[in-house]
């Protein structure tokens, strides 16, 4: 399985987990409202607060995972896309220079 596929699966699992957690939190809040332990407004505020915390933590986790993957790839010596693009540009320029030099040599004969 390639790296992009693994990361995609991890992110989808995170989204699925978040969705499941949101459903469970809503269910728990609804039960507290039914039992009279919370008002509708309090349950809604609590639910929004908890979901915001979950989203923040998920975002922090995604950033952490991205940093760790970037570090591992760097440790393995895998070049970044920007480095590959720069090398491609340099290769293109060198190929043009070689063609120009070849054309100059052929014109002399």
pLDDT at 3: 60
CB atoms inside a 10 Å sphere around CB 7: 14
Q: Between the CA of residue 32 and those of 26, 40, 58, 98, what are the distances in Å? A: 10, 9, 26, 76
| Same domain for 54 and 11 | yes
Task: Give pLDDT tens digits along the chain (109 positions).
Answer: 466 677 677 777 777 787 888 888 889 999 999 999 989 999 999 889 988 888 888 888 888 888 988 899 899 999 999 999 999 999 999 999 999 999 998 887 7
29 plus 66 within the same structural domain:
yes
CB 14 within 8 A of CB 55: no
In the prediction, which pLDDT does 97 show?
97
Same domain for 105 and 56: no
Do residues 16 and 64 both lie within one domain? yes
What is the number of structural domains in the chain?
Answer: 2
Is residue 38 located within the same domain as residue 18? yes
Q: Note down the domain range covering 92.
A: 79-109
Whether residues 15 and 67 share a domain: the answer is: yes
Are the C-beta atoms of 47 and 25 separated by less than 8 Å? yes
Q: Are residues 60 and 23 in the same domain?
A: yes
Q: Which residues of 20-51 are buried (b: 16+ CB within 10 A; e: fewer)?
A: eeeeebeeebeeebeeeebeeeebeeebeebe
Same structural domain for residues 60 and 13? yes
pLDDT at residue 90, as a whole number: 97
Q: How many residues does the chain have?
A: 109
């Amino acid at each position: 399985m390639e790296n992009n596929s693994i990361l995609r699966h991890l992110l989808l699992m995170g989204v699925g987990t978040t969705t499941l957690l949101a459903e469970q939190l809503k269910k728990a809040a609804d039960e507290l409202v039914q039992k009279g332990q919370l008002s509708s407004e309090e349950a809604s505020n609590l639910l929004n607060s908890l979901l915001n915390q979950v989203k923040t933590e998920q975002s922090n986790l995604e950033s952490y995972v991205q940093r760790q993957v970037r570090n591992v790839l760097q440790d393995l010596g895998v070049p970044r896309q920007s480095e590959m693009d720069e090398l491609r540009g340099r290769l293109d320029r060198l190929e043009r220079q070689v063609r120009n030099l070849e054309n100059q040599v052929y014109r002399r004969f």
